[in-house]
Amino acid sequence: MSQLEHIEAIEKRLWNAADTLRANSNYASNEYFLPVMGLIFLRHACSRFLAVREGLEAALPTRGGKTRPLSKEDFSGKSAIYLKPEAQFDYLASLKEGESRAQAIIAAMNSIEADYTNLRGVLPKNEYFEIENDVLGQLLRSLNWNELKTVSGDVFGRIYEYFLTRFAAQNAHDGGEFFTSISLIAHVLEPDRGIVLDFLPKMS
């Protein structure tokens, strides 16, 4: 299978999982797409975080036998977002059935916004209270298979664009344009080259 075919297979697998959950839960697309896109953002942020963490830890200076902890600035130098433990995707995906996944996801979003002023007030939060706890659990697990933990930002950019297009086809837009927050989230999906990508098509 070529790399392109492999990416397309990932896109379709993720979309089919997300759309099946939406259909079986009777959610309208405009109720569902923003929480899903927020989770894709979190998945990408965590994959990038994991990709650079080991190298950063190995390079940390040691004084008096003690190594300082990693900081936000360390990750910024590698075009990655620093994630506290409670904002990491493995933690969210492993929450037990009795725990509120909406509250945990919102806490993760708040943690990121506290560290990155350009994302404050942008990431979806209260929308997660509108999604049933078991559906959130299935969404988190569907975005946490091992292959997604190691793919590059290019792949996540494609996945993001693919989901936007598919949601648009289901009328997941308002007056012909997607919510501004989706555009802003897209700004951090591919940080490797220091450019801003906006995947939002103009639709009517």
pLDDT score for 101 = 97
- Of 69-78, 125-134, 175-184, 189-198, which range is least confident? 189-198
pLDDT score for 94 = 95
- Of 60-64, 98-102, 112-116, 174-178, which range is least confident? 174-178
Strand segments (E) across the chain: 62-63, 66-67
pLDDT per residue as tens digits for the range 109-148: 999 999 988 888 889 999 999 899 999 999 999 888 877 7
143 Cβ contact partners less than 8 Å away, ≥ 6 residues apart = 14, 39, 40, 43, 89, 93
> 197: pLDDT confidence band, cut at 50, 70 and 90?
very low
pLDDT per residue as tens digits for the range 182-191: 555 655 555 4
> Mean of the per-residue pLDDT values for the chain?
80
| Domains (range + CATH), the chain | 3-186 (1.20.1260.30)
pLDDT score for 201 = 34
The CA-CA-CA angle for residues 87, 68, 90, to 5°, reads: 20
Considering 5-14, 123-132, 146-155, 156-165, the range whose residues carry the highest mean pLDDT is 123-132
Question: What whole-number distance in Å separates Cα of residue 1 and Cα of residue 9?
Answer: 10
| DSSP string covering 128-189 | GGGS-HHHHHHHHHHT-SGGGGT--HHHHHHHHHHHHHHHHHTT--BTTB--HHHHHHHTTS
pLDDT score for 8 = 85
* 49 close to 192: Cβ distance less than 8 angstroms: no
Residue 177 has pLDDT above 80, yes or no: no
pLDDT per residue as tens digits for the range 22-57: 888 888 887 888 889 899 889 988 988 988 999 999
* Side-chain half-sphere exposure of 180, counting CA atoms within 13 A: 3
Adjacent-strand bridge partners of 95: none
pLDDT score for 191 = 47
Question: What whole-number distance in Å separates Cα of residue 197 and Cα of residue 161?
Answer: 10
Question: What whole-number distance in Å separates Cα of residue 21 and Cα of residue 144?
Answer: 16
* 83 close to 41: Cβ distance less than 8 angstroms: no
Residue 181 has pLDDT above 60, yes or no: no
pTM for the whole structure:
0.80
Report, as an integer, the average pLDDT of 48-74: 89
* 101 close to 140: Cβ distance less than 8 angstroms: yes
pLDDT score for 196 = 34
